[in-house]
Amino acid sequence: MDNLIDGRRIAGDMHAETAQRVTCLKEQGVVPGLVFIRVGEDPASRVYVGMKEKKSQELGIDSRTLVLDESTTQEALLGLIADCNADPTIHGILVQAPLPPHIDETIVFASVSPQKDVDGFHPVNVGKLMLHQPDGFRPCTPAGVHSLLCRSNVPLEGAEVVILGRGNIVGKPMAAMLLQKSPQANATVTLCHSRSQGVGEHCRRADIIIAAMGVPHFLKKDMVKPGAVIIDVGVNRIADPGSRTGSRLVGDVDFDAVQPIAGMITPNPGGVGPMTIAMLMANTVLAAERACSS
């Protein structure tokens, strides 16, 4: 069916735009700089950071990864972040989660300079998002979803949107973006979570459903209005004896059942994931542009 929202293609378009901006900066003698900080050897973190670093290098962004031992103290990590904050050649800083249990992620994310917080997690940037102040950084995954919707010409103004999940990384900032008084927002947003009653009833009214609960195949066919737009943010590992590793990744949407009745739907993988990286690259270049003009 030709109702897939191709995140890889749209991300490719964004990367082309970002590469042009990098070229303009280099003509002014500025090379965008991005630092990834990883603590420990979590396998998923290694893969994610590797993908981000590879893409940044392809776009001409000067990126590097700083790896600290699992036993690194919080004080040592904060010291490294302070050094990066003070380095004018570094425009973006990303501290890869999860961090070891003895390190407080809230304190760490808040220690990154808001002007270099290309992940959009600093309280200052969260506040600017809520207040619709454009000089902050929007968090990459919800900003990627917003771009997917806009670039796919999905009408947002007046649309009934249900967001499944109230997390700080996707659900809450996603709701804030779509509620803004803006031509590319102005939606009516319902935020459902683990304590919500009648989730299916909310979903069946929705023109757009954004699933970010972290529950495999949560969104079923009988919860979707025919013609609704479905965005699957979920990344869940489930057992699969037939696969080489004994498991596989699936989204929050029962894709095979939902796709035939959806107006548009993101595949998973190949939908939201590429957009997250595209937004990170765009935020990094934006940080360098702002540093140039300040």
Q: Is the pTM of this model over 0.75?
A: yes
Query: Per residue in 56-99, pLDDT tens?
Result: 999 999 999 999 999 999 999 999 999 999 999 999 999 999 99
Across the chain, mean pLDDT equals 96
Averaged pLDDT, 136-155? 98
The size of the chain, in residues, is 294
Question: Does residue 258 have a pLDDT over 90?
Answer: yes
Query: Per residue in 102-130, pLDDT tens?
Result: 999 999 999 999 999 999 999 999 999 99
Q: Cα separation of 163 and 230, whole Å?
A: 10
Domains of the chain and any CATH numbers: 29-113 (3.40.50.10860), 140-273 (3.40.50.720)
Among 90, 103, 96, 38, CA closest to 61: 90
pLDDT at residue 83, rounded to an integer: 98
Lowest mean pLDDT among 109-113, 161-165, 249-253: 249-253
Token pair of 50 as six digits = 């590797």
What sign has the CA pseudo-torsion 253, 137, 97, 21? Answer: positive
Torsion of CA 191, 195, 199, 202, to 10 degrees: -40
Whether residue 180 lies in the annotated active site: no
Q: Which of 55, 116, 119, 172 is catalytic?
A: 119
Averaged pLDDT, 133-159? 97
Query: Per residue in 188-225, pLDDT tens?
Result: 999 999 999 999 999 999 999 999 999 999 999 999 99
Averaged pLDDT, 237-248? 85
Among 189, 146, 142, 192, CA closest to 169: 142
Question: Does residue 151 have a pLDDT over 80?
Answer: yes
pLDDT at residue 75, rounded to an integer: 98
Q: Cα separation of 214 and 167, whole Å?
A: 10
Question: Does residue 42 have a pLDDT over 70?
Answer: yes
Whether residue 83 lies in the annotated active site: no
Lowest mean pLDDT among 3-17, 89-103, 131-145, 229-243: 229-243
Whether residue 52 lies in the annotated active site: yes
pLDDT at residue 244, rounded to an integer: 85
Q: Cα separation of 23 and 19, whole Å?
A: 6
Averaged pLDDT, 141-159? 98
Per DSSP, what are the bridge partners of residue 92?
A: 34
Q: Which of 96, 115, 207, 252 is catalytic?
A: 96
Among 122, 76, 79, 65, CA closest to 102: 76
Question: Does residue 236 have a pLDDT over 90?
Answer: no
- Residue 65, phi then psi, degrees to nearest 5: -115, 130
Q: How confident is the model at residue 1 (pLDDT cuts 50, 70, 90)?
A: low
